[in-house]
Structure 1
């Protein structure tokens, strides 16, 4: 029944396009492909059932196919209804026969129904992207917890939620914080989010960033990437923050730093990337310039108060451009919302380049193998990825680009590992 339902979500006319796009993505992911070759021989997931809740993109398809090559039986659902690429769903369902319960643009009820269908596999392990699947498992499907041994979490938002669960004593199995590896945060979050978020806004609006004032809310790894790329395109960047250390870092990078209440009247483009709710609200909308553009690069659609914006607006027009909605405010000004306030880089474009996801998903694949091998010795809390995996992924990525680096000599190893050498 579950497989039939998944196939019913496919469109056979999209399979060929999905095949071409997945092949292209995999050609840009040499590290993950090397890991897939290892998994085909080692079969580290033989006999295991895995439920995955992730953005259904060509890059994710490469990970799904790699885990499948390792011997796992998989059910997949989407972690965001607007990021789902239907050609990828169709290819995985029709060609690889991996049940994928997802369709672009579904409503909230269907979104959670698809999560329920992915959990119907009674998983031994779970892969999550935002913690919705893990939360659903702990609240609506407690009967399945007896089977679950552990899982992996891919995002900053998901890791934050998991840590709160663990602190409250509610997390009942170990979850690997894949997001917290350097090869994920430093590259996927910074370079991936930075480039893909601006790419999405440009696809949606066709604006010129040069000369614009761009307000970036949040200066974590993702915010740093967005600010850096906006500045690189000639924009003036304002950063808003709640963390004094991050605010100071932004200031010393040359950005203006101020509260959102002050930035609201100055910005031409607003990009939220905080992981928190109500970053842009009515008081900010009313203070904005005419034709200000709003976009969210955080995981969930809570950073821009979209419901408040709809209530405040005198009128609105959907799809005046690709995934762009116009709101006419009571003061006579217009603001434009991209991608309904959802994760803009995936809802209005294709998400991160495959070459950067190569590292993130290689981390995920190797962390999953390590988890399977060590899960019986791990506590029910958020667990860091071993540094050896992070270093291996970085080394493999460098090797794939033809770049070599220095190694320590015996003398240097002795020196760095001693305490009495001095000057």
Structure 2
């Protein structure tokens, strides 16, 4: 049952807050970089008097980011970026912590959209977006809520693609920092975070062994690299499908078999899509799959596995285990879909490890400060995270790990900057 509480938040049940606090406290204890930034924000108050709206997968790590932004003086409103990744106990805990929340687990599509709009009705000064939905709503549906927006930060590959399309059409109205494209995001979050959390979601959902099975990784970007690497570590035989010849050669050099999807479909036991594109597994592929094939998606939207074409081949459908649907095909084969084709690592798991999201959300926090400090100079475009901020996060991480690195001597700097004396 949905309840309204403190500042008109809309959540499922405020009584769930104690468990949510435990989750948030646990991740906070394992996010030293974000803790350091929180200390800076508490002193500097970079967001004092500003309203910040956040749309992210609403679980404990995201909740702690929201608390860090609040510690910087902001009035924070938050909603989920996927209906199946919201954790109701975390939402309740945030409400008790003075953050306005419009989110609940598994709302119907209409309610999900309405909650997202509610999170923008405070007319924010700054936004954090995941997948571009906030930006899309503000530009296409509710421009009346956009007047005060100074800028924002975007979390995902999918969101960056949408933003760059808007920028190309000259329809983007404010600057957005492409956090997804920062080194400390894609090298660690996309690769190590996605790699571990995808297999965590698959393993806990299916309770099946990966060793000896053929895992088909659809897309060999940074997320695909991580998924393939962890599949190999679990003992799976890995097949990669790609549309980019350079990435295909890279996958081959990394020791994986590379096949067109129509051939990979014949041999795969577990399929993971990580492309950001639609219909990468579709009807022609279902036609040749083995019975018992397991499909899941780790891209932002549930369009990578074409569900309508799977249902068109289906005689009966049933839920056989939480987050597993069996599609019994008309020819007697069974194909299983995890988490409705939504992000398996969040819809059927807890998302990336806290130590990984520590770096990503540190980037989000300081990128939000950067766009607030520079929005007039940046203008209405997509910009990269400044390299010095990337380095700052990495340096904080090294220090938290108790590790150090070397520095160039004056002679080494001079050597690298010269061209005459080599």
Aligned-partner SS, 1:302 = coil
Match of 2:16 in 1: 14
Match of 1:272 in 2: 273
Q: Distance in 1 between matches of 2:360 and 2:312?
A: 39
Match of 1:385 in 2: 385
Cα contact 2:34–2:362 (8 A) shared by 1: yes
- Residue 251 (structure 2) pairs with residue 250 (structure 1): yes
Match of 1:61 in 2: 63
- Residue 226 (structure 2) pairs with residue 225 (structure 1): yes
Deviation at 1:144, TM superposition (A): 2.2
Match of 1:370 in 2: 370
- Residue 400 (structure 2) pairs with residue 403 (structure 1): no
Q: Distance in 2 between matches of 1:201 and 1:6?
A: 36
Deviation at 1:145, TM superposition (A): 2.2
Deviation at 1:409, TM superposition (A): 1.1
Q: Distance in 2 between matches of 1:252 and 1:203?
A: 31
Match of 1:49 in 2: 51
Residues 61 and 131 of structure 1: CA distance in aligned 2, closer, same or farther (over 3 Å) = same
- Alignment RMSD, CA only? 1.3
Q: Distance in 1 between matches of 2:279 and 2:314?
A: 17
Q: Distance in 2 between matches of 1:6 and 1:359?
A: 32
| Matching of residues 21-420 of structure 1 within 5 Å | 21-93=23-95, 95-318=96-319, 320-420=320-420
Q: Distance in 2 between matches of 1:223 and 1:231?
A: 12
Residues 8 and 127 of structure 1: CA distance in aligned 2, closer, same or farther (over 3 Å) = closer
Deviation at 1:128, TM superposition (A): 0.1
Cα contact 1:204–1:348 (8 A) shared by 2: yes
Cα contact 2:10–2:102 (8 A) shared by 1: no
- Please list the CA deviations of residues 26-53 of structure 1 after superposition, one character each: whole Å capped at 9, or x if unmatched: 0010000010011011000001111111
Cα contact 1:2–1:117 (8 A) shared by 2: no
Query: What is the aligned residue count?
Result: 420
TM-score by length of 2: 0.98
Deviation at 1:143, TM superposition (A): 1.5
Q: 5+ residue gaps in structure 2?
A: none
Aligned-partner SS, 1:271 = strand
Cα contact 2:359–2:397 (8 A) shared by 1: yes
Cα contact 1:203–1:322 (8 A) shared by 2: no
Q: 5+ residue gaps in structure 1?
A: none
- Please list the CA deviations of residues 230-279 of structure 1 after superposition, one character each: whole Å capped at 9, or x if unmatched: 01111110000001111110011111111101110100000000000001
Residues 53 and 153 of structure 1: CA distance in aligned 2, closer, same or farther (over 3 Å) = same
Aligned-partner SS, 2:61 = helix
Q: Distance in 1 between matches of 2:396 and 2:12?
A: 35
Aligned-partner SS, 1:111 = helix
- Please list the CA deviations of residues 176-211 of structure 1 after superposition, one character each: whole Å capped at 9, or x if unmatched: 001111000000000000000011000110111110
Cα contact 1:286–1:331 (8 A) shared by 2: no
Cα contact 1:2–1:99 (8 A) shared by 2: no
Deviation at 1:286, TM superposition (A): 1.8
Aligned-partner SS, 1:159 = helix
Deviation at 1:7, TM superposition (A): 3.7
Residues 3 and 166 of structure 1: CA distance in aligned 2, closer, same or farther (over 3 Å) = farther
Moved over 3 A (4+): 1-8
Q: Distance in 1 between matches of 2:349 and 2:168?
A: 36
